[in-house]
Amino acid sequence: MGISMMVLSALIYLPVPAIAAVGLVMIFGHNLLDAVNPNNFSGAVLIIFQFLHIQGLVTISKNLHIFVLYPLIPWIGVMAAGYSFGALFKLEKARRAQLFWRMGVVAIALFIIIRAINDYGDNRPWSGQGSLSRTILSFVNVQKYPPSLDYLLLTLGAAMLLLAAFEYVQNRFTNIVVVFGRVPFFYYLLHLYLLHGASVIAQAIILGGPASQKQLPGGAIEGASLPGMYAIWLLVVFILYFPCRWYMKYKMTHKQWWLSYL
């Protein structure tokens, strides 16, 4: 995210359509690099390629290794596309909602078409699973790290449809959601520390110590069930709503320069 913001700080001097074009080219084209064999590279070229496109451990030197969770190219593309997308909020509400709807439909349609072809756009090909429900799950089981074209079309398309649907809705639910939308980076940082802290405490209670020192039988740590994960997610959102609401109000009543960065 940090490097993506640094790149965006250079891109903002371009016209908005040019920034959008850069973002879309990265989003639609980064999976072309899947065909490139990193074993063909070595030294600095290999390190750069890994940072740009491959999730995994990068060896900088004999004693220095860095795990790249978020390869840069797709996320820079998302950042650039999102920045240019913000210009649409200057439009009149009806026109804006119409564009959100059309863009969402096109994105979902492209996802279905590209995913059905099963050749480009994701490293996880789908397959028939013997039942309709499992086949659908295989179809939508797309790669998030790094985000594939299929993943971005599905998630960003759904987000645009939701934006279109909520343009004319204002109630208690939307008032709550708006709080997170006004301080997204603040929420993001808090949720990392909250979840990590909770996991450390859970490991200490369940395992009697850190997971690296003691594990459950079989060598793996048992996780929560899917309903349990949804419950944890809702609990995290509930807990963080209150500091996010406080910070939102603080930003509205204070003008310190650093507030625009958080």
CB 66 within 8 A of CB 57: yes
- What stretches in the chain show pLDDT beneath 70? 208-223
Beta bridge partners of 65: 59
d(CA 255, CA 173): 28
pTM, full prediction: 0.86
C-alpha separations of 251 from 53, 169, 191, 255, 257 in Å: 36, 25, 19, 7, 10
Of 87, 76, 79, which Cα lies nearest the Cα of 16?
Answer: 87
Look at residue 56 and give its three-state secondary structure.
Answer: strand
C-alpha separations of 69 from 13, 48, 49, 133 in Å: 29, 14, 14, 30
Compute CA 219 distance to the chain's CA centroid, rounded to the nearest angstrom.
30
Percent of the chain with pLDDT over 90: 69
What pLDDT is recorded for position 214? Answer: 47
What pLDDT is recorded for position 29? Answer: 96
CB atoms within 10 A of CB 111: 25
CB 208 within 8 A of CB 162: no
Of 82, 94, 98, 248, which Cα lies nearest the Cα of 176?
Answer: 248
E strands, the chain, are 56-61, 64-68
